[in-house]
Amino acid sequence: MELSKTFRFQSQNLTSFIPFSPINNPLKNQLSFPTKLINNKSKTTKLTITASRKAPIEGVSEELNDIASYNLDFAYTRRRVRSAFTEVQQQLDHCLFKDAPAGIRTEEWYERNSRGLEIFCKSWMPEPGIPIKASLCFCHGYGDTCTFFFEGIARRIAASGYAVFAMDYPGFGLSEGLHGYIPNFDDLVDDVIEHYTQIKARPDMRELPRFLLGQSMGGAVSLKVHLKEPDNWDGVILVAPMCKIADDVLPPDAVMKVLTLLSKVMPKAKLFPNKDLAELAIRDPSKRKLAVYNVICYEDRPRLRTGMELLRVTKQIESQVEQVSAPLLILHGEADKVTDPLVSQFLYENASSKDKTLKLYENGYHCILEGEPDDRINTIHDDIVSWLDFRCSIN
């Protein structure tokens, strides 16, 4: 997700962006909206928008491409698309799939939460006979899912003795809800708390340390979860977190008024400006090509209410960073153009946590868990496990 560069303005055209899954093939469009200035004179602000058109995926059958082109607004369609591509995904030439540890016990299930939404859940357990050290609960990024690339990440962590749990937020991945729609970020956070409270209460997890792992927007989710229940977690790991918007790139008042108004009138409309970030998110070109196989990610323009909610929550988190008190590991690529590593530095310096670590990776892009060269990916995964191992040893 975007942090310090969420908005960029040129002349009268709004060319800001909120990043999401690094797959986008936009067709540019413009809408004009009158905005009233302080002197009561009218001025037209051009809002640049796009409609997404998915390109065919090379190397798969025409039938699979037809399936990949389905309307993903509803969960039943996303589930069918994911099912059709599961075998293809597992055969991709990526270290997360090729080198995935054997013997990991996985389970997938759906559960209906207190808001009546059917939520997709998954777990990865060490092979039988390996003691479980702790539970690790994952919060995925904007537009993403807890399947696909995270499958390989979870297997590696589970092989080190951790029970890894994940869920798709409402409206994302395989969970119910309009695709890519976040009408209220706090409701989403409450959904996460509700699910992981049940996980932590399981008989086999109840006495074990518990940690959060949040990537990109999932970093904002993790921080909000921690702030709502500060004493319920033994540590928080943040990867390229979305937690602040730089003051110098906040949108002008006139533009904010337009976006605010539109988000109330047509909150579900896919009109929030953003930018194609494929080349900015994944550094390794060969891995960048594989991102198209994440076929249930949300890759259209952000919906208006979603965009406004993400702006609101980043401002809220920025004002609360001093309340972050859990043991903290922050990982960020130094060359990340999607979320600013300086924001992670800001979080590290201002959090009240007595146990906090910031690791910046030279030349690293945004998707450091899956989009870097193999040796870098292995190093980062080892850094996470080493940090977890040390905290578990002192608990």
pLDDT at position 131: 95
Q: Over 70: is that where the pLDDT of 16 sits?
A: no
Q: Is the separation of the CB atoms in 179 and 74 below 8 Å?
A: yes
Question: What's the pTM?
Answer: 0.87
Q: How confident is the model at residue 81 (pLDDT cuts 50, 70, 90)?
A: very high
- The answer, yes or no, to whether residue 197 has pLDDT greater than 70, is yes
User: Which percentage of the chain shows pLDDT scores above 70?
Assistant: 84
pLDDT at residue 170, rounded to an integer: 98
pLDDT of residue 144: 97
**237: closest CA among 296, 162, 149?**
162
* Mean pLDDT value of segment 83-99: 95
- Does the pLDDT of residue 44 top 60, yes or no? no
Average pLDDT over residues 314-337: 95
Whether the pLDDT of residue 11 is over 50: the answer is no
pLDDT band for position 206 (50/70/90)?
Answer: very high
Whether the per-residue pLDDT at 29 is higher than 80: the answer is: no
pLDDT for 41 beyond 80: no
Q: What pLDDT band is residue 253 in, cutting at 50, 70 and 90? A: confident
Query: So what's the pLDDT on residue 245?
Result: 65
**pLDDT at 283 exceeding the cut of 60:** yes
- Which pLDDT does position 273 carry in this prediction? 72
Instruction: Give the E-state strand segments of 140-291 in sequence order.
Output: 162-167, 210-215, 235-239
Lowest mean pLDDT among 24-38, 94-108, 303-317, 330-344: 24-38
Q: Is 80 exceeded by the pLDDT of residue 12? A: no
- 373-387 b/e with 16+ CB inside 10 Å = b? eeebbeebbebbbeb
Contacts of 109 (CB under 8 A, 6+ apart): 121, 122
**Dist CA 268 CA 261 (whole Å):** 13
CB atoms within 10 A of CB 302: 26
Average pLDDT over residues 280-292: 94
Mean pLDDT of 375-385: 98
H/E element holding 110? strand 105-112
**What is the arithmetic mean of pLDDT over 64-76?**
96
CATH architecture designation of domain 9-52+61-394: 3-Layer(aba) Sandwich (3.40)
